[in-house]
Amino acid sequence: MFQLDCMSFLEDFGRFLILIKNGLVRPPNWRMYGKELVRQMYDIGNGSLLIVGLIAIFIGAVTAVQFLYQLNGTLIPTWYVGYIVRDSTIIELAPTITCLVLAGKVGSNMASELGGMRQKEHIDAMEVMGVNTPSYLIMPKIIAALIVIPLLVVISAFVSIIGGYLASVMGGFMNTQEYTRGLRAFFLPYNLWMMLVKSTVFSFILTSVSCYQGYFVKGGSIELGKASTNAVVVSNILILVSDYLIALLFTT
């Protein structure tokens, strides 16, 4: 059983690498690819902005409220809340939670779109015409995600800090000066790089894994549903594993 799983993993991994390699070719028509890239950027960015913003507000608010709870009865000053909200959001919560949510939204959408195209023979039709489908259908999605998702993560981090402010200042736990003092304390620009590296790596994982799952769909609607679920599950696991590895690499 273990041997079978290993074989299946290696087969999937090999096919994934070949798919990405096949996509890395010079497009025959830059204009068509450019249009597709812009469409994907719009879909990912515009379609996800609201949910990312909503989640980010609560990430910041919950972090602030829970840290206030932990500070209760200790000698640590309350302005530390601003510092904790800022750093936990930038280093971990904004990139990771945003990308986990986007794996569910954008990733499953990509897997379903490509899977549907496979089932309706759209991909075959393009192949017969001579279109390099990994390049035309998958690369614009990956590149669009690599551009747009880090931007969404930056917005998410910013909104989270506002969420923390709303919960701690508007909630009456401290005043604005205290919160901003925390926000300005012990700031390391290096942490922003960590956030951007994480969001770029996570973007690549969630789009490439989802596209892989959708591109190779076989069978009917049940298989399409499975591919969509696998896209989210596998992306999430890989995001968490790479989160750990990046944290290890950047902090030790």
Partner 1 sequence: MILAKNLIKSFGDQQIIKDVTIEFETGKTNLVIGRSGSGKTVLLKMLVGLIQPNSGKILYDGEDFYELEKKELLALRMRVGMLFQGSALFDSMTVEQNIRFPLDMFTKSTRAEKDKRVNYCLERVGLSGNNKKFPSEVSGGMQKRVGIARAIVLQPSYLFCDEPNSGLDPKTALLIDELIHGITEENNITTIINTHDMNSVMEIGETVSFLSNGVLAWRGSKSDILKSDHDELHDFIFASPFIQKLLDEANMTPP
Judged by the rule CB under 8 A, the positions of this chain that interact with partner 1 are: 28-29, 31-32, 120-122, 124-125, 127-131
CB 161 within 8 A of CB 171: no
Residue ranges in 89-220 assigned as alpha helix (H) = 94-102, 108-119, 122-129, 133, 139-165, 176-184, 189-215
d(Cα 3, Cα 22) in Å, to the nearest integer?
A: 28
Own/partner contacts of 118-122, CB < 8 Å, gap of 24 or more, are 118/214, 118/215, 118/216, 118/217, 118/218, 119/217, 119/220, 119/224
In the complex, least distance from residue 35 CB atom to partner 1, rounded to whole angstroms = 9
Q: Which is nearer to partner 1, 34 or 77 (CB)?
A: 34
Dihedral-angle region of residue 73 (phi above 0 means left; psi in -120 to 50 means alpha; beta otherwise): left
Closest CB 33 distance from partner 1, rounded Å: 10
CB 198 → partner 1: shortest distance, Å?
A: 33
Q: Which is nearer to partner 1, 133 or 228 (CB)?
A: 133
> In terms of CB distance, is 76 or 125 closer to partner 1?
125
Query: Cα(first)–Cα(last) distance of the chain, in Å?
Result: 37
Q: Which is nearer to partner 1, 28 or 77 (CB)?
A: 28
Give the residue with the Cβ less far from partner 1, 31 or 252. Answer: 31
Minimum separation from the CB atom of position 39 to partner 1 (A): 9
CB of 4 to partner 1, least distance (A): 16
